[in-house]
Amino acid sequence: MHLRPLPEEHRETYREFLNYAFRPENGPDWSDERVPDPEGYHPRGFYDAPPDAPVGDLDAADLRTVCAFYDFTARVRGEWHPLPGISAVASPPEARRQGHVAAMLDDLLAEFRDTDRYLSALWPFEYAFYRRFGWATANNYAKTAVPPDELGAVAADPAGEFVRLDADDWARVKAVHAAAATEDLAVDRSEGWIRHRLFRGWDDDPFVYGWERDGDLRGYVVYDVTGDWESRTLSVDELVAADAEARAQLFRFLRDHDSQVDEVVLSSEHESTRLIDDLTDPRAATVELKPGPMVRIVDVRAALEAVSFPADAACDLVLAVEDDRCDWNDGPFSLVVADGEASVESVGDDAGPDAVPDATVEIGALSQLLVGARAVEALARTEHLSVADEEAADALASVFTGRDLYLREGF
């Protein structure tokens, strides 16, 4: 079996796999012709066929499982890096529990490594499942539900203008997002992503409104309304503002739906936003903290050498990495960090059988350290990171400092 780019003529089978995996109530033959993002979306098929079989000889009947990835570029420690977002992992019922997904993910990681994609991300259907393969949670997010009239406490006085936006406004929307999404793991959104994922929905397209100041778009909100005359909910998929005034104006826009909806739900907010702190009656709101996407280092050496670290970081130690899926990562590495740059070499057998590493880390924990999701001190209290002594812990802590993370894309 092997992983291959999916031929166009196998797209129907691919969609059937996805539809049955994620919409089982519709049955295996339900079809949807909408392509999520033709510009940066790469579907793959895992075939029960010889690895050297020509593409033209592949048969859709030999598909055992499928996946895809978005070719994202995301901010990691303040700089842009490739971060493929894995999506659409699906198998038909008859091919499940046979190890196909594990083998497919192994092949996909090998493809990423061979094409210089040294980091990866995904949204799991089950966290424990993907932890087995080396992914670990990056950031959490907050889901806030509040009656619309309570937003009066955070709404601005009328100013500027609200305007309806459509996909042709993608460049203006991109500029607002770029100004607002300053956290690490923020994605440099493409035109295709904005057109096909921001302005389109799987069932119905969302509403997108922006707020302009003197004709300059400063914020936008993406939402839909569900329910009936008895009870309606306005669900916000994304609220992005370039400044505090724009954010307050967007809350005014949501507040002004108080005659139509009973509840406003902010589905995915940065966990530090804490809207509840600014409400007149904080008890009127309900806030749920939820786990977000997961990240994984694909290639330890390439990732550590590509990312920039604090200029005053100082580290010279042997780091043993445990990765039972990617043999190129599994083993001890010499890690030297100076002037914000890392030099990484595989130690291999040179250290001798009795050599003791300065630290041992599981690949998921190292991924969290790299992006700044968790601190050395916190991970050292778990089974995922062990450090020989305080000096090694201090050295690692100087390198892997915490970062403000928020990967807001759903994929």
Q: How far apart are alpha carbons 371 and 303 in whole angstroms?
A: 10
CA-closest candidate to residue 315, choices 379, 399, 231: 399
CA-closest candidate to residue 170, choices 202, 132, 210: 210
Q: How far apart are alpha carbons 268 and 143 in whole angstroms?
A: 5
pLDDT tens, the chain, 411 aa long: 889 999 989 988 988 888 867 765 554 444 445 555 657 899 999 999 888 888 888 899 999 999 999 999 999 999 999 999 999 999 988 888 899 999 999 999 999 999 999 999 999 999 999 999 999 999 999 999 999 999 999 999 999 999 999 999 999 999 999 999 999 999 999 999 999 889 988 778 999 999 999 999 999 999 999 999 889 999 999 999 999 999 999 999 999 999 999 999 999 999 888 899 999 999 999 999 999 999 999 999 999 999 999 999 999 999 999 999 999 999 999 999 999 999 999 997 665 555 689 999 999 999 999 999 999 999 999 999 999 999 999 999 999 999 999 999 998
CA-closest candidate to residue 360, choices 380, 341, 374: 380
Model pLDDT for residues 297-325, shown as the tens digit of each residue: 999 999 999 999 999 999 999 999 999 99
pLDDT score at 274: 83
What is the 8-class DSSP label of residue 374?
A: S
3-class DSSP assignment, residue 235: strand
Per the CB < 8 A criterion, the answer to whether 214 and 181 are in contact is no
pLDDT score at 273: 82
pLDDT score at 352: 58
Q: Tell me the domains of the chain and their CATH numbers.
A: 2-117 (3.40.630.30), 141-291 (3.40.630.30), 295-399 (3.30.1050.10)
Contacts of 294 (CB under 8 A, 6+ apart): 121, 122, 123, 124, 127, 130, 131, 135, 136, 137, 138
| Tokens (6 digits) for 42 | 């790469």
pLDDT score at 27: 47
Q: How far apart are alpha carbons 24 and 16 in whole angstroms?
A: 10
Q: How far apart are alpha carbons 255 and 159 in whole angstroms?
A: 15
The alpha helices in 151-279, defined as continuous H runs, are 170-180, 191-193, 244-255
Q: How far apart are alpha carbons 372 and 343 in whole angstroms?
A: 19
pTM > 0.95: yes or no: no
